[in-house]
């Protein structure tokens, strides 16, 4: 059965094509250009101009540059949320540093403040203080902002907020992406808004963002010839793709609204089924509900729902497999409490696209009810 309903497909508004066409009409197919500036200005406006922004080729590139800007280098330890997509952790290894994985707490499913502090203390006792913390707003839910930023400040270890899934989310009315020294966004095809592929690096410190742009454009010195005093990357977003991003920023609020509507629909329609549950927003938390995740009573129930949906051409997916359970990171240090492993076993991401129609939601819910 071919897939008819995808987990999180792109959803374009009406102006994306116009901005891309402008790039064609002005022959601005070169990497930099007016759409890059326009997209960055729109992101800046979204953050009330309290953050500076560099749009890049991917969220992964943004994390790589963030770590580099914070001085992470060969042999360093970086404390990273375990329950996440591999792109939160992979760039740590690009720099020859070691990710140490930290399990989650149950309220937001993000990095556990207690385990994070244990890991920091252990490192200090061994004479090796971690160089950075990577905390994630998973599925759009902000992490324990107050606790985690307090720990970051107490130990003077900089925080990177991986907000790849959380554009449009906020905590106590402050937007996700702004809680660390550096925040990152992703505009991959499955995210809440997309440029087909892309990302952004955000920081209050303008110098950090300027340095990021320098590193993202091959670290070219000011000179008429090509001269380089350090190693750079080719990580800048192209002017064509930035046109899509500029259009997508104009519909972001609508996309958040639609994703939250999906969540409320699923939750309400399945509330009478005792073997299914959803996680609510704690007080002060606002999630963009990028993906609606349900929890079942067992691995078997989860798999029954997933395969029955698939047989009808409906894509769903288990929650992220924690990094400390991944073969590639099997030798890495970890601080675990069983929370993310349990979520991985019992959780399922449901179709969550902002273009889902009510009839499709009804079909999905009926199939789940029939399964149980
Ligand atoms: C998507 C994602 C990334 C990586 O973003 P790309 O733009 O795909 O490189 C990083 N972290 C998390 C949590 C993500 O979901």
The predicted pLDDT at position 120 comes to 98
Task: Please give the Cα distance from 174 to 336 (Å, whole number).
Answer: 29
DSSP E strands, the chain: 52-56, 77-81, 98-102, 132-136, 159-162, 170-171, 174-175, 182-186, 199-203, 276-277, 285-286, 292-296, 317-318, 334-335, 347-350
Closest CA to 351 of 6, 11, 12, 85: 6
**Structural domains in the chain (count):** 2
Q: Please check whether residues 43 and 157 belong to one and the same domain.
A: yes
Instruction: Give a yes or no: residue 161 inside a domain.
Output: yes
The predicted pLDDT at position 32 comes to 79
Instruction: Give a yes or no: residue 346 inside a domain.
Output: yes
The predicted pLDDT at position 33 comes to 86
| Ligand 1 mean position, distance from CA 188 (Å) | 7
Q: Please check whether residues 181 and 259 belong to one and the same domain.
A: no
Q: Please check whether residues 201 and 119 belong to one and the same domain.
A: yes
Instruction: Give a yes or no: residue 139 inside a domain.
Output: yes
Q: Please check whether residues 97 and 131 belong to one and the same domain.
A: yes
Tokens of 281: 């927003």
Does ligand 1 have an atom closer than 6 angstroms to the CB of 72? no
Q: Please check whether residues 195 and 208 belong to one and the same domain.
A: yes
- Which of 88, 184, 248, 321 is the pocket-test mutation for ligand 1 (most atoms within 8 Å of CB)? 88
User: Which residue's CA is minimally distant from atom 2 of ligand 1?
Assistant: 164
**DSSP states of 310-350 as a string?**
HHTTB--EEPPPPGGGSGGGTTS-EE--SHHHHHHHHEEEE
The predicted pLDDT at position 341 comes to 98
| Ligand 1 mean position, distance from CA 225 (Å) | 35
The predicted pLDDT at position 23 comes to 87
Q: Indicate which CATH number applies to the domain containing 324.
A: 3.90.1150.10
200 neighbors 53 (Cβ within 8 angstroms): yes
| Ligand 1 mean position, distance from CA 26 (Å) | 31
Task: Quote the domain boundaries for residue 324.
Answer: 252-371
Instruction: Give a yes or no: residue 315 inside a domain.
Output: yes
Computed on alpha carbons and rounded to an integer, the radius of gyration of the chain in Å comes to 21
Q: Please check whether residues 54 and 200 belong to one and the same domain.
A: yes
Q: Which of 192, 224, 249 is the last residue of a domain?
A: 249
Atom of ligand 1 nearest to the CA of 187: 7
Cα-based angle 212, 196, 308 (whole degrees, multiple of 5)? 125
78 neighbors 130 (Cβ within 8 angstroms): yes
Q: Please check whether residues 145 and 293 belong to one and the same domain.
A: no
Q: Please check whether residues 291 and 157 belong to one and the same domain.
A: no
Does the global pTM surpass 0.85?
yes
Instruction: Give a yes or no: residue 148 inside a domain.
Output: yes
At 102, is the secondary structure helix, strand, or coil? strand
| Ligand 1 mean position, distance from CA 6 (Å) | 18
The predicted pLDDT at position 195 comes to 97
| Ligand 1 mean position, distance from CA 252 (Å) | 18
Inter-axis angle of helices 145-154 and 113-125, nearest 10: 10
Q: Please check whether residues 235 and 293 belong to one and the same domain.
A: no
Instruction: Give a yes or no: residue 143 inside a domain.
Output: yes
At 367, is the secondary structure helix, strand, or coil? helix
| Ligand 1 mean position, distance from CA 290 (Å) | 13
- Which of 56, 164, 236 is the pocket-test mutation for ligand 1 (most atoms within 8 Å of CB)? 164
Tokens of 181: 């020294």
Task: Please give the Cα distance from 229 to 126 (Å, whole number).
Answer: 35
The count of C-alpha atoms lying within 13 angstroms of the C-alpha of 372, restricted to the half-sphere facing its C-beta, is 21
pLDDT in tens, the chain (372 residues): 788 999 999 999 999 999 999 988 888 777 778 999 999 999 999 999 999 999 999 999 999 999 999 999 999 999 999 999 999 999 999 999 999 999 999 999 999 999 999 999 999 999 999 999 999 999 999 999 999 999 999 999 999 999 999 999 999 999 999 999 999 999 999 999 999 999 999 999 999 999 999 999 999 999 999 999 999 999 999 999 999 999 999 999 999 999 999 999 999 999 999 999 999 999 999 999 999 999 999 999 999 999 999 999 999 999 999 999 999 999 999 999 999 999 999 999 999 999 999 999 999 999 999 999
Q: Which of 249, 270, 286 is the last residue of a domain?
A: 249
Instruction: Give a yes or no: residue 2 inside a domain.
Output: no
Q: Please check whether residues 299 and 225 belong to one and the same domain.
A: no
Note every long-range contact of 65-68, with CB atoms under 8 Å and residues 24 or more positions apart, other chains counting.
65/201, 65/212, 65/215, 65/216, 65/233, 65/235, 66/160, 66/182, 66/184, 66/201, 66/212, 67/91, 67/92, 67/95, 67/97, 67/132, 67/160, 68/95, 68/215
| Ligand 1 mean position, distance from CA 27 (Å) | 30
User: Which residue's CA is minimally distant from atom 14 of ligand 1?
Assistant: 164
Q: Please check whether residues 208 and 95 belong to one and the same domain.
A: yes
Q: Please check whether residues 89 and 227 belong to one and the same domain.
A: yes
| Ligand 1 mean position, distance from CA 85 (Å) | 7
Instruction: Give a yes or no: residue 59 inside a domain.
Output: yes
Atom of ligand 1 nearest to the CA of 165: 15
Does ligand 1 have an atom closer than 6 angstroms to the CB of 195? no
| Ligand 1 mean position, distance from CA 126 (Å) | 32
Does ligand 1 have an atom closer than 6 angstroms to the CB of 165? yes
Cα-based angle 153, 92, 42 (whole degrees, multiple of 5)? 70
Q: Indicate which CATH number applies to the domain containing 189.
A: 3.40.640.10
- Which of 8, 81, 83, 85 is the pocket-test mutation for ligand 1 (most atoms within 8 Å of CB)? 85
Q: Which of 249, 284, 308 is the last residue of a domain?
A: 249
Tokens of 295: 């929890």
């Amino acid at each position: 059965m071919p897939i008819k309903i995808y987990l999180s497909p792109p959803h374009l508004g009406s102006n994306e094509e116009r901005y891309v066409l402008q790039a064609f009409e002005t022959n601005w197919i070169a990497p930099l250009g007016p759409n890059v500036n326009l997209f960055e200005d729109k992101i800046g406006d979204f953050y009330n101009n309290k953050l500076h922004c560099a749009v890049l080729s991917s969220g992964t590139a943004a994390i790589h540059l963030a770590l580099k800007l914070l001085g992470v280098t060969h042999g360093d330890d970086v404390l990273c949320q375990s329950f996440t997509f591999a792109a939160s952790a992979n760039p740590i290894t690009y720099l020859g540093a070691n990710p140490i994985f930290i399990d989650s707490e149950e309220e937001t499913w993000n990095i556990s403040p207690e385990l994070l502090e244990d890991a920091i203390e252990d490192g200090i006792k061994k004479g090796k203080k971690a160089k950075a913390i990577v905390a994630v707003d998973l599925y759009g839910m902000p992490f324990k902002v107050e606790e985690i930023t307090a720990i970051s400040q107490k130990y003077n270890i900089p925080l990177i907020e991986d907000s790849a899934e959380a554009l449009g989310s906020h905590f106590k009315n402050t937007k996700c992406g702004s809680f660390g020294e550096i925040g990152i966004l992703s505009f991959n095809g499955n995210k809440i808004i997309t440029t087909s592929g892309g990302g952004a690096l955000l920081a209050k410190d303008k110098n950090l963002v300027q340095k990021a742009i320098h590193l993202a454009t091959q670290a070219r010195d000011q000179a008429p010839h090509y001269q380089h005093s350090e190693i750079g990357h080719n990580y800048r977003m192209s002017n064509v793709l930035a046109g899509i991003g500029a259009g997508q920023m104009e519909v972001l609020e609508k996309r958040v609204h639609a994703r939250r509507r999906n969540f409320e629909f699923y939750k309400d329609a399945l509330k009478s089924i005792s073997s299914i549950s959803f996680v609510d927003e704690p007080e002060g938390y606002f999630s963009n509900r990028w993906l609606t995740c349900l929890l079942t009573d067992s691995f078997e129930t989860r798999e029954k729902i997933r395969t029955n949906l698939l047989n009808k051409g409906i894509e769903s997916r288990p929650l992220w497999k924690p990094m400390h359970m991944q073969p590639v990171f099997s030798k890495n240090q970890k601080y675990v409490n069983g929370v993310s492993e349990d979520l991985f076993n019992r959780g399922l991401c449901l179709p969550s696209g902002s273009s889902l129609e009510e009839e499709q939601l009804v079909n999905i819910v009926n199939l789940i009810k029939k399964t149980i």
